[in-house]
Structures are given as C-alpha cells and as structure tokens.
Structure 1
Amino acid sequence: MWNEEVVAGRPAWRHTASGVVFREVPGGTYRMGLSEAELAAVRAIERSGDAEDTLEPFFAAAAEAQPVREVRVEPFLIARHPLTVEQVQHRLPDYEDDYADADSSAARLEDDLDELLAALPFRLPSEAEWEYAARAGTTTLTFRGDGKPGEDQLLDDFGAEDRIAAAENAFGLAGVGSANELCADVWIPGFADAPADARPRLGDGPRVVRGGAADLYPWQGCDEWLLLLAATRYEHSQFTAVRPAAPVPPRG
C-alpha cells in the first residue's frame, strides 16, 4: 500500500493506489496559536507603511487563535500538497471543479466534500497537526519569517516539480497557507481547554479551516496575505481543499 522513496531530495511515502505523496512529520512539541510576538510582528509590518489599512478585523479576531499553549504531536504522515483535481478524480471520477484552472490545481470541494472524505483511505489532520506541520519548527508568522508574505509565496498548481520543490518548508510540504485546507476539528473560537496532545476537537457543526490566501487571488488590497500565517484559523463555510493525513506505516 505504501512505498518509501525520495522525492525532490527528501524522504517520502507514496500511497501506491492513489499515487499521493506524503511526507513524514517528526513528533515533537511546539507552541500553538497566535503569539504576542507574532501580533507584534504584524503591527511592525503595519507601521512600515507597506501594509494595507484593514488589519483591525485581524486583531479583533486574534483571541480565536489564543491562548498560546504547548502541544505534543506524535509522528504522522501528511500529503506534500493539497489533493489536486486529478487526484480527487481518482476517487470521484465524475468530479468537476469550477475553481481550478487545471487538473494539477488544488481541488476545491463543495457538494462533493462528504463523498470524498468517505471515499478516502486517509483522514483529515487535526488543526494542531496542521499548524505544527505548517510551522515546521519555526515560531514566526510563516515558515519564511516575520516579513509580510507576498504573492510569490502562493502555490496553487502542482504540475511543475521545480516550483513545488522551491515552495517546500523544512518538513517538505508545499503550498502551505495557499489553499483553504480543512481540518478534522469542529470550529470552536479559541483554545481554552483544548487537548495538549494534538487530538482533534470533535462534535457537531462546521470544521476548522486553515490557509486560503490563493482563494482570494488576485489580491485586492484587503490583507489577504494574513491567510498565509501559520496560526490563522476560521470557520468552514463553503468550498475547501483537502490535504490528507495518515499514520506512519511500519517499516520492514
């Protein structure tokens, strides 16, 4: 079911039936959530005169990604990038995507979402796993640092290997923050009483979404870059991409 191989110079696991490439994320602990240092970094960007003038909603919603807390994450697999239209069609042959420019673009599922999740032999990552994987050992606004992310950080089409490899973080994941990616957790504002072991918070209602800066491209000067931040989270309401996760397969 799984082949261990090297993809773009990094270890990877390929799911043989679907061809989806996964990276193994090492276990560890990290500080999850929107820290005061990150808020200060956003304010510093704002003072530079280089940011747009609509940051008030971001600061008003900061408590939805707080309090910052230490979370322990066990090793797991997560897809190198969100599932593409072609990869979704492997499970749902009749799937069509009105939001994608090509079959190699990240798929945005709406009416077909539940059907895909039922058909996949994988699971959704918890949002604690997602943020840990997105940060890839960093504590900054994005894995690239505390600078304002530019449109050059967006990656929504995964048909060119050189572009994918150039966009990877330290864990070998590409396009992090570009598409809006669904997590396993039900939406709960804030992290009060959230588990410290990366389990998803389950229940009824909409799920948590992370990322989504490419879904508003071309940017219109409304601070869409904030969706690239590792800690940005919001409530799922419509179409979404899926970056599946799985247990680490046994070796040998």
Structure 2
Amino acid sequence: MWERTDAGFWRHVASGVLFRRVPAGTFRMGLSEAEEATLAGVEFADGGLTAEDLAQMRPVRDVRVDGFLMARHPLTVAQVRHWLPEYEDEYADGDEHRVARLEWPDELLEQLPFRLPSEAEWEYAARAGTTGLWHRGDTPPGSGDVLDTFGDEAAVAASENPFGLAAMGSTADLCADTYIDGYADAPSDARPRIAEDAERVVRGGAADLHPWQGVDEWLMLLPSTRYEFGEFASVRPVAPLP
C-alpha cells in the first residue's frame, strides 16, 4: 500500500498521493495571548478578528498528538478522479492540478481509504513546531504565500512548512470534528469532537477568497482560525504511520 520515496515522502501506491510523516508531540492549541497581542499591532483592512472569533479559539490548552501521515497538499482534481472518475470541478477551470473544491465531500469520503484529520491534528500540523502567528513568523502573509494549484513543483516546495506540508491554510480543509463553540471541556488529546446536527469544521481557506483583495484573507492562514463548512471544502487526508 505504501512506498518510501528518496525525497522522504510516503507514497500511496494505488493513487500516487504523497504524504508526509507528522511526528508525535504536544502543542498549545488555540490563539494564545502572545498571538493576540501581535494581532493588536496589525492594521486590518476589514476589521480583523472579532471578540466572538477569538472566543471560538479559546481557552488555549495543551494537546497531545500521536504521530500520523498527512497528505502533502489537499487532493487535486486529478487525485479525486482516482476514486471518483466522473468528478467535475467548476472551480478548477479545467486545471487538473488545482485543489478539488468539493461541494458534497461525503461521496469522496466514502471511497477514500484514509480519514479526515481532527481539528487538533490539523492545527498541530499547520504550526509544525513553531509558535508564531503562522509557520514563517508573525508578519502577516501576502497573496504570494497562498497556493491552490500544484502543477509547479518549485512553488509547492517553497510553500512547505517545517513538517514538509505544502500550502497549509491556503484552501478550506475539512476536518473530522463538527463545529462546537470554543474549547471548553475539550479533550487533551487529538480526538475529534462530534455533536449531533452540526456541520463539520473547516480550517484554512485563504485561496478560496480569490481574487486576493487585501481585506485580511491572510487571517485564514492562521493555524488557529476555524469556522463551519460552507459551500465547498478541500480534503487533505491523513493515515496511520506505516
């Protein structure tokens, strides 16, 4: 099922999807006071994060995460067609290297031999051992830090974080959790939280606000930003370590 490549990937043989190993560890999940203080010094174009937004990322807590594999980037149109040959994507504009934006993701999830990451796993992978607002530091990212097409290997490699995961936060990655207000009483491990009759959580989505208009789309790149599934989402699957 898996093969190890010379470049350090785990390749799913049947589909060709490349995965990176995410090591086990513990991290502080949520928007910390230090991060909020940094945000306070940023001039926002469109109001920034509201008090309600901040409350959804709190209280900050330590979370223990076991090691796992995560896809190097969200599944592209071509990769989704491995499982759904008839899949069409109006957002891809004919480019099979573009990330697949799924309006009805359950159809794909039923076919995948993988699972969705939990919120905790996604945020841990996005932070990749860093403690700034995002993996490159505290300076607000720009449009050049967002990637939603994966035909240019140099661009993909340049977008990788310290765990080797590309374009984290660029597109709206679907998580296993359903949306629950804040983290009160949340577990100290990376299990997903599930509530009845609730939409799933989505993380990231900066590229989905195309064209980049300078109205704080970069906030979607923050590892702690979370919201409910809306019109569509991308899928960045995870799997157990081989």
Superposition TM-score, scaled by structure 2 size: 0.96
Match of 1:193 in 2: 185
Query: Is it true that 1:12 corresponds to 2:9 in the alignment?
Result: yes
Query: Is it true that 1:65 corresponds to 2:62 in the alignment?
Result: no
1:42 maps to which of 39, 43, 58: 39
2:67 maps to which of 75, 98, 115: 75
Q: CA deviation at 1:43?
A: 1.1
Q: Which letter maps to 1:220?
A: Q
SS in 1 for 2:9: strand
Query: Is it true that 1:103 corresponds to 2:100 in the alignment?
Result: no
1:244 maps to which of 217, 234, 237: 237
Question: In structure 2, what is the Cα distance between the partners aligned to 1:15 and 1:238?
Answer: 29
2:133 maps to which of 132, 141, 155: 141
Q: CA deviation at 1:225?
A: 1.2
Q: CA deviation at 1:53?
A: 4.2
Question: In structure 2, what is the Cα distance between the partners aligned to 1:89 and 1:203?
Answer: 31
Match of 1:21 in 2: 18
- Count of aligned pairs between the two proteins: 240
Query: Is it true that 1:172 corresponds to 2:169 in the alignment?
Result: no
Q: Which letter maps to 2:209?
A: L
Question: In structure 2, what is the Cα distance between the partners aligned to 1:85 and 1:132?
Answer: 26
Question: In structure 1, what is the Cα distance between the partners aligned to 2:218 and 2:25?
Answer: 28
User: Residues 90, 127 of structure 1: CA spacing in aligned structure 2 closer, same or farther, 3 A cutoff?
Assistant: same
Aligned-residue CA RMSD (Å): 1.1
Match of 1:32 in 2: 29
SS in 2 for 1:88: helix
Per-residue CA distance 1:130-181 (angstroms, 9 max, x = gap): 0000000011111010111111100111111111111100000001000000
Mapping of residues 84-123 of structure 1, within 5 Å: 84-101=76-93, 102-111=95-104, 113-123=105-115
Query: Is it true that 1:161 corresponds to 2:192 in the alignment?
Result: no
Question: In structure 2, what is the Cα distance between the partners aligned to 1:190 and 1:59?
Answer: 12
Query: Is it true that 1:52 corresponds to 2:45 in the alignment?
Result: yes
Match of 2:223 in 1: 230
User: Residues 59, 147 of structure 1: CA spacing in aligned structure 2 closer, same or farther, 3 A cutoff?
Assistant: farther
Q: CA deviation at 1:12?
A: 1.4
Gaps of 5+ in 1: none
Question: In structure 2, what is the Cα distance between the partners aligned to 1:59 and 1:34?
Answer: 12
SS in 1 for 2:177: strand
Match of 1:219 in 2: 212
Q: Which letter maps to 1:6?
A: D
Identical-pair percentage: 62
Residue pair 2:180, 2:195 contacting (<8 A) in 1 also: no
